């Protein structure tokens, strides 16, 4: 099943010089149907040659249960948790700036959708927002 595309930011144009800092992402609206482990949501796209260095993710409270269980992975088709693994930021509306070790200095070899996929379902799902920015630079041509 193809992921639901939730991003609308302009896609990358000319990439400039090698090692020029690039930031991709923005704020996406997440539906309650996006908060189950079988759902995959495309939250942004990075161009071929992009090397990830940092991320920032902030979520609204998307699990309103008294004992929340929602955990979020952010990655790509090759690794669901390449950038963020089992993060609980959506349980109480918090943020993180910790990139997974598998994502630090990872080079994307093709234009790639960055995907959000819960690793644990929400106990009581509530629609919300995810603000996600992936920083990095372009590799030498």
The helix (run of H) or strand (run of E) holding residue 52 is strand 50-59
CA distance 68 to 80: 21
Q: What does the pLDDT read at residue 33?
A: 96
Q: What does the pLDDT read at residue 12?
A: 57
CA distance 131 to 129: 7
Residue 71: both structure tokens together: 């955990």
Helix (H, G, I), strand (E, B) or coil at 109: coil
Structure confidence by residue, pLDDT tens digits, 5-31: 887 765 555 556 667 788 999 999 999
How large is the average pLDDT for residues 77-99?
96
* Chain mean pLDDT for the chain: 91
Structure confidence by residue, pLDDT tens digits, 27-62: 999 999 999 999 999 999 999 999 999 999 999 999
């Amino acid at each position: 099943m193809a992921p639901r595309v939730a991003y609308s930011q302009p896609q990358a144009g000319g990439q400039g010089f090698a090692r020029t800092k690039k930031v991709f992402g923005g704020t996406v609206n997440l539906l309650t149907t996006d908060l189950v482990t079988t759902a995959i949501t495309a939250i942004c796209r990075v161009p071929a040659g992009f090397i990830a260095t940092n991320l920032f993710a902030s979520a609204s409270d998307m699990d309103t249960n008294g004992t929340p269980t929602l955990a979020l992975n952010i990655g790509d088709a090759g690794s669901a948790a390449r950038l963020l693994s089992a993060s609980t930021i959506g349980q109480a509306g918090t943020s993180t700036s910790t990139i997974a070790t598998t994502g630090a200095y990872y080079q994307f070899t093709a234009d790639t959708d960055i995907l959000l996929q819960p690793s644990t379902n929400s106990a009581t799902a509530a629609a919300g927002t995810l603000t996600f920015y992936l920083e990095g630079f372009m590799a030498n041509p």
